[in-house]
Structure 1
């Protein structure tokens, strides 16, 4: 397995994987990634910003994520808790694994890769937010050493639980 930055030619496959995740959330009654989000425009912006990555196996895209070092405005106000650190941090967004590849621990590998990207950028903190009903993602984060930090609200008013890991 290998990672690389996404290119415009990857958008169709990335959107296939995103649509699978959207359908899964809908089936589970989790109100995350609904209402046409993320869409092609969001993915295109991720690619243009150099923050979109794909995981490949035998040349085929099997997962996608965003690793960003842009400060999140929605992270400035955290309720019912506090961040572990206040300095520079990386952020993981939009982890999605192709349905045919689930159960192989790929999300763990994505997190480890994000940590490596942080270290390469001399950043020792990784922050993530997820929907309060997305228990599988919360469990994944806890298994990978993330600590629950509190509640944040997205710019659109969406409530999210926030996690951070330092290394």
Structure 2
């Protein structure tokens, strides 16, 4: 895993488009309103938040590791476990269809958590649509705990399940 560069944008968008199709096939409305889009990913790259997973020299996955407060998390139906410490958020994570079924999402998640910890941040958050069972499974597998409902800007359905991981319990 490494920080994404502007030269990675086409591969990142291809992976995001494949993920949009997979979510749609699952019946989820997540990512069906046009986002994430190229401008959003370029913004992630410019802010140093975008990460890519590299396999045999090829971009196999993309994710955003946001290390600033996420305004969508300011209000929650439920309660965050920790509201005082800095947290990182995993957003826009997807694996290329060429590499699905190889358990790379676990490897990618592990790298994102390690990256966060190495930055001195010991608290993470993630959110997903109620029909995105893949993301719910992997979040729980890595110890993220369900904390409530948040809302994100989404033209179809902005309701998201929120999860939190505290690495200093």
Would you call these one fold, judging by a TM-score over 0.5? yes
Residues 116-159 of structure 1, C-alpha deviation per residue, up to 9 Å, x if partnerless? 11111111111001111111110111111110000001145711
Root-mean-square deviation (Å): 1.1
Which runs of at least 4 in structure 1 moved beyond 2 Å after TM superposition?
A: none
What are the ranges of 5 or more consecutive residues in structure 1 without an aligned counterpart? none
- 1:48-94 deviations in Å (ceiling 9; x for gaps): 11100101011111011010111011111110x21121111010001
Quick check: 138-147 or 110-119, which moved more? 110-119
Q: Please state how far the C-alpha of 1:31 moved relative to its aligned partner.
A: 0.3
Corresponding residue pairs, total = 164
Residue in structure 2 matched with residue 41 of structure 1 by the alignment: 39
- Aligned partner of 2:166 in structure 1 is 166
Task: Provide the C-alpha distance between the structure 2 equivalents of 1:15 and 1:120, rounded to a whole number of angstroms.
Answer: 27
Compute the TM-score of the two structures, normalised by the length of structure 1: 0.94
Deviations along 1:25-57, one digit per CA (max 9) or x if unpaired, are 111110011121111111111111110010101
Give the conservation status (yes or no) of the 8 Å contact 2:26–2:131: no
What are structure 2's unaligned runs of at least 5 residues?
none
